[in-house]
Amino acid sequence: MTKSNTGSFTLTDNQTGKSYDLPVLHASVGPNVVDVRKFYAQTDHFTYDPGFTSTGSCESGLTYIDGDKGILLHRGYRIEDLAANCSFLEVAHLLLNGDLPNKEQKAKFDHDVTYHTMVHEQLSNFYRGFRRDAHPMAILCGVVGALSAFYHDSTDINDEHARMVASFRLIAKMPTLAAMAYKYSIGQPFNYPKNNLGYAENFLHMMFSVPAEEYEMNPVLAKAMDRLFILHADHEQNASTSTVRLAGSSGANPFACIAAGIASLWGPAHGGANEAVLTMLNEIGHKDNIKEYIAKAKDKDDPFRLMGFGHRVYKNYDPRAKVMQESCHEVLEILGVDDPLLELAMELEKIALEDPYFVDRKLFPNVDFYSGIVLKAMGFPTSMFTVLFAVARTTGWVAQWKESIEDPQAKIGRPRQLYTGPTERPFVPLDKR
Ligand code: CMC
């Protein structure tokens, strides 16, 4: 990682005329940052940035997004190249270890992750405590947090080996836990993982095979699944990743931190958008209704937003959405599915991209716009969409968590505030209120 001073900003308090020098830290690519760490001590003021639109919360060497150009790099590699040429576990190796693996490293890494795919048998009792109609994200929040009650030997965050084992466990067990949530909801028996299968294949097997029949793996679908995992693997300091880092900054164990990330991912403005897109497309129903929904999305008095559109960082086409759109066509063609929702989505995209409201605000389709259509065609129920996002993003969360714990400058995350509540006042006893 490079971080050197490249100059400074001078900030003048116009009330007192006093000036302060704020050092600038150098990014390897993209915006440099103004270092405000000593700002409060020097000026008795905080900085104010709700939603962190201009604030860097950490130093990271994992992922870089150029939102204006629509570029996403993991450790310097373009997402399009990784999606076209790598397996998900190679990308996981890249994120965790800093580089793509060579053949030997790949074999070892694949083995190290795959070795941990089974979950403690007693965990299945947890599932039985949930209602059958529980949302699988609700189940996932619970069972991932519960992992910390089962794997005590990998919760010591100060032990490098324990950190690595916890990382392998989380990446390996997440597909197993996700598939169990689905099987529980439909009343089918849980499938044990098969370690002779690849990461995505194993997940499809645990999701869709039943003990009574042979499961025939469709390699094209397995590839599409793997690609979808790659596209969701990491995405810089988004809400869920920041949640994981913040939870981790207190010294909480990694399983608890990832459970916190899952909770944050669930919302429709973040990972819940893929589910919301499909609900929206179903609600629109027909091309003739698109104009009405575009008008709703533009109406400030209407809470409706065009789901799968817009992004805090991308002010250009999300590069993941491009790959996802291609994948969508491919999967539908292979499966021989003629889903009218795809046609509807493409028409909606076309109309939105010509509308000045969306053009002026640089609102483009994001990764979630087409992923739901792919997943639906593959047989996933809508409620599992965000779960799949969580499975893939666990790799990014774990890599970011490790990076934050290993950062020598790590401190507990503790934002400040602009307080606008009452000033101190005398206490009023109950009978006088
Ligand atoms: N439909 C209609 N208007 C929108 C939309 C949308 N999807 N997204 C943003 N806008 C408008 C917004 O009303 C605002 O307009 P104005 O300037 O007139 O007030 C302007 O665009 C800027 O929006 P913002 O809310 O300030 O932008 P943000 O960076 O805070 O929010 C977002 C980003 C992704 C939460 C938002 O675009 C959104 O809610 N999109 C729909 C949900 C979605 O698809 N989320 C998935 C994100 S990608 C997957 C992931 O990484 O989680």
Residue nearest to atom 52 of ligand 1 (CA): 270
CA of 336 to the centre of ligand 1 (A): 34
In the chain, pLDDT over 70 holds for what percent of residues? 99
- The answer to whether the beta carbons of residues 125 and 170 sit under 8 Å apart is no
The DSSP output letter for 152 is: G
355-358-362-366 Cα dihedral, nearest 10 degrees: -110
CA of 279 to the centre of ligand 1 (A): 17
**Distance between CA 126 and CA 174 in Å, rounded?**
15
- The answer to whether the beta carbons of residues 121 and 180 sit under 8 Å apart is no
In the chain, pLDDT over 90 holds for what percent of residues? 90
Residue nearest to atom 51 of ligand 1 (CA): 270
Residue at 367: amino acid letter = V
The tens place of each residue's pLDDT in the chain, 433 residues long, gives 345 567 999 999 999 999 999 999 999 999 999 999 999 999 999 999 999 999 999 999 999 999 999 999 999 999 999 999 999 999 999 999 999 999 999 999 999 999 999 999 999 999 999 999 999 999 999 999 999 999 998 889 999 999 999 999 999 999 999 999 999 999 999 999 999 999 999 999 999 999 999 999 999 999 999 999 999 999 999 999 999 999 999 999 999 999 999 999 999 999 999 999 999 999 999 999 999 999 999 999 999 999 999 999 999 989 999 999 999 888 989 888 888 988 899 899 999 999 999 999 999 999 999 998 899 999 999 999 999 999 999 999 999 999 999 999 889 999 999 999 999 999 999 999 9
Residue at 154: amino acid letter = S
- The answer to whether the beta carbons of residues 59 and 1 sit under 8 Å apart is yes
CB-based contacts of 135, cutoff 8 Å, min separation 6: 383
Residues with CB under 6 A from ligand 1: 235, 238, 269-271, 273, 297, 305-312, 361, 363, 366-368
Ligand 1 atom with the smallest distance to the CA of 366 is: 48
Query: What are the structure tokens assigned to 198, written together?
Result: 């690849």
Query: What are the structure tokens assigned to 149, written together?
Result: 């009650």
CA of 315 to the centre of ligand 1 (A): 11
CA of 201 to the centre of ligand 1 (A): 34
pLDDT score of 1:
38
List the alpha helices (DSSP H) in 86-159.
88-97, 103-114, 123-128, 136-146
**Distance between CA 235 and CA 237 in Å, rounded?**
7
Domains of the chain: 5-56 (2.20.28.60)
**From the CA atom positions of the chain, what is the Rg in Å?**
23
Ligand 1 atom with the smallest distance to the CA of 318 is: 48
Q: Tell me the per-residue pLDDT of 356-366, one tens digit each, with 9 for 90 and over.
A: 999 999 999 99
Q: Which residue has the tokens 């604030």?
A: 55
Q: Tell me the per-residue pLDDT of 188-233, one tens digit each, with 9 for 90 and over.
A: 999 999 999 999 999 999 999 999 999 999 999 999 999 999 999 9
Residue nearest to atom 21 of ligand 1 (CA): 361
The residues carrying an active-site annotation are 311, 368
Query: What are the structure tokens assigned to 204, written together?
Result: 């499809």
Query: What are the structure tokens assigned to 234, written together?
Result: 């990491």
Count of positions (residues) in the chain: 433
Query: What are the structure tokens assigned to 77, written together?
Result: 């590699």
Residue nearest to atom 14 of ligand 1 (CA): 361
**Pairing, β 77-78 against β 19-25:** unpaired
3-class state of residue 71 by DSSP: strand
* Per-residue three-class SS string for 383-411: HHHHHHHHHHHHHHHHHHHHHHHHCCCCC
CA of 413 to the centre of ligand 1 (A): 26
359-63-178-245 Cα dihedral, nearest 10 degrees: -110
Residue nearest to atom 26 of ligand 1 (CA): 312
Q: Tell me the per-residue pLDDT of 66-123, one tens digit each, with 9 for 90 and over.
A: 999 999 999 999 999 999 999 999 999 999 999 999 999 999 999 999 999 999 999 9
pLDDT score of 140:
96
